[in-house]
């Protein structure tokens, strides 16, 4: 079998938005992704549904796999013809052992590609408002690993010109040896009053920055319980933080918001305002097991006066089957189309069709009332409505129309299924208090998550701020004993996002 290929990809320091376009493409095309602890889990949501995930660990000295194990997996998967994405925090060649992994691949004759990532060396200080160079303050910077053996007596910092205040010094992986590092710096000539900062979880919602002089930073870090991952920045540039601190001033800074459905553009406003999105879809979708009802409706499409699409997903699954059966938009001549919500309207437009009716309220009951008032007149039995739906959708609209004498066909157009992905990483984030707001867009999005979680995690979920897209979803959540704090006036993702922003700002 022909060998596959391995992409050694730098995932950046933590903020999912800092992945490169080329790195994202490698994730999307990979058959197998071998990833470290420090990468943002949101990046994994861009992978193919059938991609294999292998967790390599590498968390503050605790390793799920040894480096030899990782090397072996990369070689084995590539020799099976797989496209492998080795997803590493920061940049693979900046203290990331990417060079070692590339050597192994080269020795085995396996094609590989290096995709650099944004290193924490520059990104983490930037998110703390600290430029590593500045024309008036620092003309150079040096990067040093902080986990070497620092017990030796030699002057290990001589090459850094420690007395030169024009240079910024950045230590990675430095927490364990912090006191030794700072003592040696002072002993070798660095002014004890030199500004310094230690930054934990830079570029993430839990970013924590402690500043002080080089002589006191080790004690301050201990007092503030700074633990890995963290970097140390030494130099006059640290004094610019007070003026240039931009990230921590964002209105949603510190918020990590759980998204329990596929990510759409409407959620990105939360990210722009400083929140991090933890995307964990609790519902997957697939075609119906039996197409008989849907196919009959499509074959007789000319017989309908209206089609009512309740969701973007209903549009996509319907038209995929519609086109597969040899129909096209010309067959919809004379059929008026109603959609629930602007997102559904936008999805419909992708097929070259503008919606004729977009109700102000986006729930089945409101649409039924609209049809009763504006559509149904003297002969309701002459009206035929097609209502493509999911397997678990409530039939309240169809029943209301049928009670009014209208003929409604509501074929199952797609099925909702529970994802196969386990909730281990989400459970850990919940238990560690990293999630601040949880959002749900349907009863099943909540119920599926509820079934995935263990009892101790379910209890933690009660401490979160919960946002529900509408009253039906809120009722399902409250029936399980949870409090819903945020319900928008209109049942759209955009309105739910705005309600979350207002709630957080008011709080």
Higher-confidence position of 448 and 375: 448
Spatial contact of 251 and 505, defined as CB atoms under 8 Å apart:
yes
Higher-confidence position of 339 and 129: 129
Q: How far apart, in whole angstroms, are the C-alpha atoms of residue 157 and residue 192?
A: 15
Q: How far apart, in whole angstroms, are the C-alpha atoms of residue 194 and residue 190?
A: 7
- Asked whether the predicted pLDDT for residue 162 surpasses 60, the reply is no
Residue with tokens 């707001």: 437
pLDDT tens-digit series, residues 420-434: 666 777 888 899 889
Query: Coil, helix or strand for 225?
Result: coil
Range 129-153 average pLDDT: 82
pLDDT tens-digit series, residues 331-385: 999 999 999 888 889 999 999 999 998 887 666 667 777 776 666 666 677 789 9
- pTM of the model as a whole: 0.81
Strand order in the sheet with 32-36: 52-57, 32-36, 83-88, 5-10, 111-115
pLDDT on residue 320: 96
- Asked whether the predicted pLDDT for residue 109 surpasses 90, the reply is yes
Lowest mean pLDDT among 253-267, 316-330, 375-389: 375-389
- Asked whether the predicted pLDDT for residue 172 surpasses 80, the reply is yes
Query: Coil, helix or strand for 145?
Result: strand
- In this prediction, residue 242 has a pLDDT band, given cuts at 50, 70 and 90, of very high
Which residues are CB-contacts of 438 (< 8 A; sequence separation ≥ 6)? 257, 258, 260, 461, 464, 465, 466, 467
- Asked whether the predicted pLDDT for residue 470 surpasses 60, the reply is yes
pLDDT tens-digit series, residues 201-221: 999 999 999 999 999 999 999
Q: How far apart, in whole angstroms, are the C-alpha atoms of residue 267 and residue 342?
A: 14
Lowest mean pLDDT among 114-128, 164-178, 259-273: 164-178
Instruction: Work out the mean pLDDT of the chain and round it to a whole number.
Output: 89
Higher-confidence position of 72 and 392: 72
- Asked whether the predicted pLDDT for residue 394 surpasses 70, the reply is no
- Asked whether the predicted pLDDT for residue 152 surpasses 60, the reply is no
pLDDT on residue 63: 55
Cα diameter, the chain: 98
To 10 degrees, what angle do helices 493-506 and 342-349 make?
140
Residue with tokens 């052992």: 97
Tally Cβ neighbours within 10 Å of residue 55: 15
pLDDT on residue 264: 87
Q: Where are the alpha helices (DSSP H) in 350-490?
A: 364-374, 396-403, 424-431, 443-452, 455-461, 471-478
To 10 degrees, what angle do helices 443-452 and 471-478 make?
30
What amino acid positions are annotated as catalytic residues?
36, 58, 173
- Asked whether the predicted pLDDT for residue 60 surpasses 60, the reply is no
Q: How far apart, in whole angstroms, are the C-alpha atoms of residue 375 and residue 407?
A: 13
């Amino acid at each position: 079998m022909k060998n596959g290929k391995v992409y050694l990809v730098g995932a950046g320091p933590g903020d999912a938005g800092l992945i490169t376009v080329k790195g994202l493409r490698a994730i999307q095309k990979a058959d197998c992704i071998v990833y470290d602890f420090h990468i943002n889990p949101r990046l994994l949501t861009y992978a193919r549904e059938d991609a294999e995930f292998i967790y390599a660990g590498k968390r503050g000295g605790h390793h799920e796999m040894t480096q030899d194990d990782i090397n072996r997996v990369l070689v084995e998967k590539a020799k099976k013809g797989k496209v492998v994405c080795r997803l590493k925090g920061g940049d693979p060649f900046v203290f990331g052992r990417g060079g070692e992994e590339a050597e192994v691949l080269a020795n085995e004759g396996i094609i590989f590609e290096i995709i650099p990532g944004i290193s924490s060396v520059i990104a983490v200080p930037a998110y703390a408002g600290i430029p590593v160079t500045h024309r008036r303050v620092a003309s150079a910077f040096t990067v040093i690993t902080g986990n070497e053996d620092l017990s030796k007596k030699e002057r290990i910092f001589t090459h850094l010109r420690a007395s030169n205040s024009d240079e910024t010094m950045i230590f990675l992986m430095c927490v364990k040896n912090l006191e030794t590092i700072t003592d040696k710096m002072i002993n070798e000539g660095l002014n004890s009053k030199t500004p310094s900062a230690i930054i934990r979880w830079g570029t993430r919602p839990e970013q924590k920055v402690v500043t002080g002089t080089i002589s006191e930073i080790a004690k301050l870090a201990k007092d503030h319980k700074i633990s890995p991952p963290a970097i140390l920045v030494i130099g006059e540039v640290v004094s610019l933080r007070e003026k240039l601190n931009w990230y921590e001033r964002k209105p949603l800074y510190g918020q990590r918001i759980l998204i329990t459905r596929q990510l759409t553009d409407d959620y990105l406003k939360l990210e722009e305002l400083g929140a991090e999105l933890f995307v964990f879809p609790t519902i997957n979708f697939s075609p119906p097991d039996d197409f008989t009802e849907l196919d009959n409706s499509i074959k007789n499409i000319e017989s309908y006066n209206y089609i009512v699409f309740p969701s973007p997903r209903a549009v996509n699954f319907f038209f995929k089957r519609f086109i597969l059966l040899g129909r096209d938009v010309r067959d919809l001549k004379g059929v008026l189309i109603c959609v629930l919500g602007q997102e559904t309207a936008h999805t419909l437009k992708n097929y070259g069709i503008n919606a004729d009716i977009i109700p102000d309220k986006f729930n089945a009951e409101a649409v039924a009332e609209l049809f009763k008032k504006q559509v149904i007149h003297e002969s309701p039995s002459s009206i035929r409505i097609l209502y493509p739906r999911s397997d678990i959708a409530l039939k309240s609209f169809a029943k209301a129309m049928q009670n009014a004498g209208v003929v409604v066909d509501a074929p199952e157009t797609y099925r909702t299924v529970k994802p196969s992905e386990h909730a281990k990483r989400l459970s850990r984030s919940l238990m560690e208090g990293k999630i601040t707001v949880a959002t749900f867009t349907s009863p099943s999005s909540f119920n599926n998550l509820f079934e995935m979680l263990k009892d101790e995690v379910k209890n933690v979920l009660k401490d979160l701020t919960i946002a529900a897209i509408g009253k039906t979803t809120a009722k399902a959540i409250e029936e399980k004993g949870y409090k819903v704090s945020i319900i928008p006036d209109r049942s759209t993702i955009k309105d739910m996002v705005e309600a979350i922003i207002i709630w957080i700002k008011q709080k």
